[in-house]
Structure 1
Amino acid sequence: MRWAVNCSLLFTELPPLDRPAAARAAGFDAVEFWWPWPGEPVPSAGDVDAFCAAIEDARVRLIGLNFYAGDMPAGERGVLSHPGRAAEFRASVAVLARIAERTGVRSFNALYGQRLDGVAPAEQDRAATGNLVFAAREVGGLGGTVLIEPLARGPNGAYPLETAADAMAVVRRARAAGAPNVKLLFDVFHLTVNGDDPAKVAREHAADIGHVQIADAPGRGRPGTGRIDFPALFAVLDEIGYDGRVALEYVPDGPSAREFAWSDPPRR
């Protein structure tokens, strides 16, 4: 496996712009982020420039970035399926495209959004498909892939995508509507806590996996803190021919720089 580190969950003891350099100091050459400006779909040009400069100055690759997902600290988990927020989401896509042009990032996670009171699920699903097609076409011109992710049941509110089957239904709708560059984000933690067997999912959807993220379950800590058999899982990823990065997206138990002793430093 070739590792990347998620700088929205790890190194959070540091300001966001200091995290890429901290990841580099810990031995990583690749990082990913959630949307860096919660609740702000169109940050200032200066903020975007500072974010890109932090990546460049640290000499790391940005390999994954979330689309705008609303105010995540306040509990939102995406606006993709919100019928009244299409303009907000699509305005953020242009920002993301500028970051992609500058940094080379090509994998983009689109959190689906929670179910809304008083809005039919079918209406939300139509809104999501339209926004997915728009986003996929915009990043497709850069060689980019849009990712769809199930999230853990409970802490993410009325988020409707809990299993690989849920996410793949969205992927298939987007593909049928003309967006072939939409794939599954294979997050081992979320799949496991919702009852999916990650090895089975990996084998069934080998061609559909666009990116892999890991954390142990339960607890969402580093590998070895829960019950997932990571050596066996990594063997399955090798078996299916997955050759992308594996992003460490777990919650540290103490200073982040001490959280990587389990991994193989030469592979970072």
Structure 2
Amino acid sequence: MLDVLDPLTAVANLSTLYSALPVGDRPGAAARDGYRAVESWWPFERPVPSGTEIDEFAGSIEAAGVELVALNFFLGDPAAGERGILSHPERAAEFHDHVEVVRRLALRLGVRLFCVPFGDRRPGLAERDQRATAVANLAHAHRRLRPLGGVPMLEPLSGLPSYPLVTAADAVAVIEEVDGVTGVPGSVGLLADLYHLAAVGSDIDADIDAHGGRIVHVQLADHPGRHEPGTGRIDFARHLSRLRARGYTGRIALEFFPAR
């Protein structure tokens, strides 16, 4: 377990570990703490920021000398109940424009993993229509990012009554639909956040056994509390050993809010 928290091997989530700092100061703070690799939630207020905003964020990563391993797509305003725009038909054109910004960051910074928030259920829209929009948008993101080695990811989330992807099986069902559209197995990866899986009462070992081959990125925070390992009840040593035994060779990202 000690190496899970080792800054030389772990990925620091800039948006949780350094949430008290301005966005531009976070990469430098992570580097000073010894981290060589980082990930981030969408660092801009809009899905299509200005060129100056893009340059400032990218410049902060480059100046810190850290590797940006993973980046979230636009989430929106969580306080207003927004959880992404992937499945919102009225924002499909905006999503396509957003993908081009993500692609620009991928070209400049070399980031290759992209968590795509699914979006909350929209009143008055049929669930099948939202799902069809999400599948089409994910297929588009795959086509634009694949030439760069990029992989969109879906993540089950907890604590959000209007969010459709709660379990690993929920996310995998959408991933399989996208694979059918693109004809490319693994066109979308599964992001396994052990905190969210624990929070919804999933059998994490069973999820790893059933879907381990689709997991391309792992995040952790303890449950309850969403703080560092050791503050809750998740058996990280067992789950991470099981992941490795099932062939997972990726990084482990620290997406917790420090209790200390």
TM range (shorter): over 0.9
Whether 2:259 is the aligned partner of 1:253: answer: yes
> Is 1:66 equivalent to 2:72 in the alignment?
yes
1:73, CA displacement in angstroms? 4.3
Indicate the residue corresponding to 2:224 in structure 1: 218
Q: Which amino acid aligns with 1:244?
A: G
Which segment is superposed worse, 116-125 or 202-211? Answer: 202-211
Verify: 1:20 aligned to 2:24, yes or no.
no
Alignment partner of 1:124 is 2:130: yes
Paired residue for 2:248? 242
How far, CA to CA, are the matches of 1:125 and 1:117 in structure 2? 14
Q: Shift of the alpha carbon at 1:126?
A: 0.5
Q: Distance in 1 between matches of 2:229 and 2:69?
A: 21
Counterpart residue type for residue 28 of structure 1: Y
Aligned equivalents of 1:217 and 1:80: distance in 2? Answer: 28
Give the Cα–Cα distance (whole angstroms) in 2 for the partners of residues 73 and 31 of structure 1: 25
Q: What does 1:25-104 correspond to in 2, within 5 Å?
A: 25-38=32-45, 40-104=46-110
Amino acid at match of 1:25: R
* 1:186-225 superposed matches below 5 A: 186-225=192-231
Q: Deviations over 1:15-60 (max 9, x none)?
A: 111111111111110000111113x111010110111111111010
TM-score of the superposed pair, with normalisation by structure 1: 0.91
Aligned partners of 2:177 and 2:100: how far apart in 1?
Answer: 23
SS in 2 for 1:9: helix
Tell me the matched-pair count: 251
Per the TM alignment, residue 69 of structure 1 is displaced from its structure 2 partner at its CA by: 2.3
Cα distance per residue 1:142-199 (max 9 Å; x no partner) = 01111001000x3x34001000010001110110111542011111011111111222
- Selected match of 2:171 from 167, 174, 179: 167
Distance 2:250 2:216 in 1: 8
> RCO greater where, 1 or 2, for CA within 8 Å and sep 6 or more?
1
- Secondary structure of the structure 1 residue equivalent to 2:86: coil
Distance 2:204 2:174 in 1: 19
Partner amino acid, structure 1, of 2:91? R
Q: Distance in 1 between matches of 2:181 and 2:253?
A: 29
Residue identity over aligned pairs, in percent, reads 47
- Which structure 1 residue ranges, 4+ long, deviate > 2 Å from structure 2? 69-75
Within a 5 Å distance, the mapping from 1:104-115 to structure 2 comes to: 104-115=110-121
For 2:192, what is the secondary structure of its paired residue?
strand
Comparing 63-72 and 243-252, the one that deviates more: 63-72
Equivalents in 1 of 2:161, 2:15: separation in Å? 20
5+ long unaligned stretches in structure 1: 255-268
